[in-house]
Amino acid sequence: MRFLILLVTIAYFALAAASFDYVIVGGGATGLALAVRLSEDSSKSVVVLEAGGTGFGNVNITNLRLSRSNFGTPEDWQFVAVPQTHGGNRVQAQAQGRVLGGGSAINSGMYTRGNEIEYDALETLGAKGWNWKSMFAAVKKSERFFPPSTPDVQVLNVTFDPAFHGIAGPVALSLQALNISRLFPAVVVPTLRALGFEMNFDSNGGRHNGPSWNYLTVLPDTSTRSHAVSGYYLPVASPLDNPGGSKVATLNGANIILSASTLNTPKILELSGVGDPNVLRSIGIDVQIDLQGVGANLCNQPMSTGTSFLMRNGTVDVGNAIRSAILDFLSRSLRS
């Protein structure tokens, strides 16, 4: 029997005293996965604190195609960057999930794995046991791979290596190729082949060179999002779990796990007095622990929707060739 309690929208709760083995702050991708795994030990009690709502019944979450409709809503923390000096002082929005499932509830559902060299570098940098071999085994364990359908394989010539995939985990992966765009099989793949690019048989094995097929975290039977809620939480949710909340004044935890995302976790640490003393003092927070890396060294992935081409010397304008092929295809599609 599991002892897993979920408190959502914690800001609205007046809490009565309770002690737990694990208090997990943030019921997002990491928090829910950890909570469910830790609660497999029936002798341990786990509580998850989530600032957002449950998101239950929200079609913008379940339908991956509507994921961007969550931006600017209560399901999004609605962060903004400071004015960007090199971007005409524009202020950029930074969407972050504020709902059970966190980013996994509002993201684009694109599934990619890192390169084996990157994972091995983690161990070289000191994270003992974190290497390609151990991570590959872990991601396969978390995966429920739905092999591409026969039409996808036949029409698109999709290739995949079953050895790179798990079939019994909570994260569902499927190829949503044929029903997304006819442009892909009709133009993109033949063009890449004609240009001599060797397709990558399956990029889920730690090597990424060459174009390959990208899977989405979508359950193929219902075409709905597979995320931390559907994959981890709901299968084990019981009446004990309490999205309605209980009345507790003080919360004690033998272990506190902060999984409130890259942006919110350092904020919680800093508000608790853990961080760079210069930053903390500048905003009137007493320093409890001098830990200068907190809130520093953020790396983010800029998004670009453009495509660029590196031209070989002496060749024709490949850009124009592709542009005309696409325009031709689109015109024919519009006529048909």
**Segment lying near ligand FAD (by CB under 6 A), choices 39-47, 101-109, 124-132, 168-176:** 101-109
What single DSSP character describes residue 188? Answer: I
155 vs 208, beta carbon nearer ligand FAD: 208
**Segment lying near ligand FAD (by CB under 6 A), choices 53-61, 90-98, 125-133, 204-212:** 90-98
Handedness of CA 273, 276, 281, 283 (dihedral sign): negative
191 vs 214, beta carbon nearer ligand FAD: 214
45 vs 104, beta carbon nearer ligand FAD: 104
**Do residues 260 and 79 make contact, with C-beta atoms less than 8 angstroms apart?**
no
25 binds ligand FAD (CB under 6 A): yes
Provide the mask over 29-68, with x wherever binding to ligand FAD is found by CB under 6 A and - wherever it is not.
xxx-----------------xxxx----------------
DSSP string, 61-106: HHSGGGGGGGTTSTTB--EEPPPBGGGTTB--EE--B-BTTTHHHH
**Segment lying near ligand FAD (by CB under 6 A), choices 25-33, 133-141, 244-252, 328-336:** 25-33
Radius of gyration of the chain (CA): 23
Q: How far is CA 301 from the centre of its chain?
A: 13
The interface with ligand FAD within residues 271-330 (CB under 6 A) comprises none
Among 9, 107, 204, 226, binds ligand FAD (CB under 6 A): 107
Q: Give the nearest distance from C-beta 115 to ligand FAD in angstroms.
A: 15
8 binds ligand FAD (CB under 6 A): no
Residues in the chain: 336
**Do residues 19 and 255 make contact, with C-beta atoms less than 8 angstroms apart?**
no
Tokens 């992935």 belong to which residue?
Answer: 301
108 binds ligand FAD (CB under 6 A): yes
Q: Which two tokens stand for residue 143?
A: 């995966």
C-alpha neighbours within 13 Å on the C-beta side of residue 24: 27
**Segment lying near ligand FAD (by CB under 6 A), choices 141-149, 192-200, 241-249, 258-266:** 258-266
68 closest CA partner among 303, 231, 326: 303
298 vs 334, beta carbon nearer ligand FAD: 298
Q: Would you tell me which residues interact with ligand FAD (CB under 6 A)? A: 10, 25-31, 49-52, 95-99, 102-104, 106-110, 259-261, 264, 268
